[in-house]
Amino acid sequence: MSRRLASLLALFALVTLTGARDPILVPEVSQHEVNLQQGFTGTELLLFGAVLTPEGSRAAQDYDIVVVLKGPTRSIVLREKQQIAGIWINAASTEFRSAPAYYAIASTKPISEIVDDKTAAIYELGLKWLQLSPIGAINPEEQARFSAGLVDLNRSNGLYREEEGGVKVSEQVLYQARIDLPSSVLTGTYTAETFAISKGRVVASASSKVEVRKQGVELAIARFSDDYGFAYGLLAVIVSVGMGWLAGRLFALV
């Protein structure tokens, strides 16, 4: 903490000496590493930092703060169930080349009150503006339906979140937002971006990284399963036969 304070003070000094025009953002994340291992049931990340005017004084009231935590993007196929002959089966599908595995946005005010649609689209501020890169020529209406479906699905899984008013600014200089990561998060490099917005214009932004990864036994198991399928299968067979046999022997004693 004292190091952060020191860097803050250094910036303070820098700003007062140079008198730059853009506001200064000093973002920080409570955890730069999230380890998926035994006992992990999800976690809460604290995205916080300071925002200063170019003169180096506190004046956060002039800025709206938006923080975005975004997971790695990947290609996915999204399928839609339709009722055919009385049963619900996957009837339509589309592919997205860059669906983020996780996306959370928190802001001081509803996004629509902070920026116009164009700016929101450019900076991907909000689930509505995610650039999912659908593959194949499907009509815009259908595309919109699928995109909305993907967002809804992930919202109910807790992997996409929108928290308007989730950013709290105290003393007009320190901001903070709490963002939940559920236990089903995927591994990869997550980026935490902070935007300072004034009069509908993004005046400063800064980003930092959060590594989500498996560790220890969990990492070993996942690697073992992926790289040495045969040995892993043998192990599973030995464990199951061994436990069945052992239980039989133990109960024979009772």
Partner 1 sequence: MDVYLPIANLSVNGLIIIGLGAITGVLSGIFGVGGGFLTTPLMIFYGIPPTVAAASAASQVTGASVSGVFAHSRRGGVDYQIGSVMVAGGILGTGIGAVLFNLLEKLGQIDTVINILYVLLLGSIGSLMAKESIQSIRAERSGVPVAARKRRHHPMVASLPMRWRFYRSGLYISPLAPLILGMCTGILTMLMGIGGGFILVPAMLYILGMSANVVVGTSLWQILFTTMATTMMHALTTHAIDIVLATMLLLGSVTGAQIGAMFSQKANPVKLRLLLATIVLLVAARMALGLGYRPDEIFTMAPL
Least distance in Å: CB of 161 to partner 1?
17
Contact flag: residue 80 with partner 1 (CB under 8 A): yes
Identified binder of partner 1 from the candidate list 50, 78, 114, 127, rule CB under 8 A: 78
5: β partners: none
Please, are residues 20 and 54 in contact by the beta-carbon 8 Å criterion? yes
Identified binder of partner 1 from the candidate list 110, 165, 200, 233, rule CB under 8 A: 233
Q: For residue 251, what is the enclosing H or E element?
A: helix 229-253
Distance CA 107, CA 23 (A): 18
Q: Mention every residue, 6+ apart, whose C-beta is less than 8 A from residue 107.
A: 64, 65, 66, 67, 114, 125, 163, 164, 165, 166, 167
Contact flag: residue 189 with partner 1 (CB under 8 A): no
Contact flag: residue 248 with partner 1 (CB under 8 A): yes
∠ Cα 190 193 198 (to 5°)? 165
Identified binder of partner 1 from the candidate list 17, 21, 86, 140, rule CB under 8 A: 86
Instruction: Enter the tokens of residue 29.
Output: 């994340």
Contact flag: residue 136 with partner 1 (CB under 8 A): no
With contacts defined by CB under 8 A, name the span among 31-39, 59-67, 120-128, 173-181 that binds partner 1.
Answer: 31-39
Identified binder of partner 1 from the candidate list 19, 42, 110, 200, rule CB under 8 A: 42
Contact flag: residue 218 with partner 1 (CB under 8 A): yes
With contacts defined by CB under 8 A, name the span among 1-9, 47-55, 181-189, 200-208 that binds partner 1.
Answer: 181-189
Total binding residues for partner 1 by CB under 8 A?
62
Identified binder of partner 1 from the candidate list 57, 61, 75, 189, rule CB under 8 A: 75
Distance CA 47, CA 223 (A): 31
Q: Is 76 exposed, middle or buried (0-12, 13-18, 19+ CB in 10 A)?
A: middle
Helix-strand-coil split of the chain, %, nearest 5? 35, 40, 25
Q: Mention every residue, 6+ apart, whose C-beta is less than 8 A from residue 67.
A: 27, 47, 105, 106, 107, 167, 175, 177, 179, 192, 193, 194, 195
CA-nearest of 220, 246, 172 to 37 is 220
Closest to partner 1 by CB, 144 vs 241, is 241
Closest to partner 1 by CB, 61 vs 184, is 184
Contact flag: residue 181 with partner 1 (CB under 8 A): no
Closest to partner 1 by CB, 187 vs 208, is 187
Contact flag: residue 241 with partner 1 (CB under 8 A): yes
Contact flag: residue 144 with partner 1 (CB under 8 A): no
Binding site for partner 1 (CB under 8 A): 36-42, 74-83, 86-90, 93, 95, 99, 146, 149-150, 152-154, 156, 183-184, 186, 214, 217-219, 221-222, 225-226, 229-230, 232-237, 239-241, 243-248, 250-251
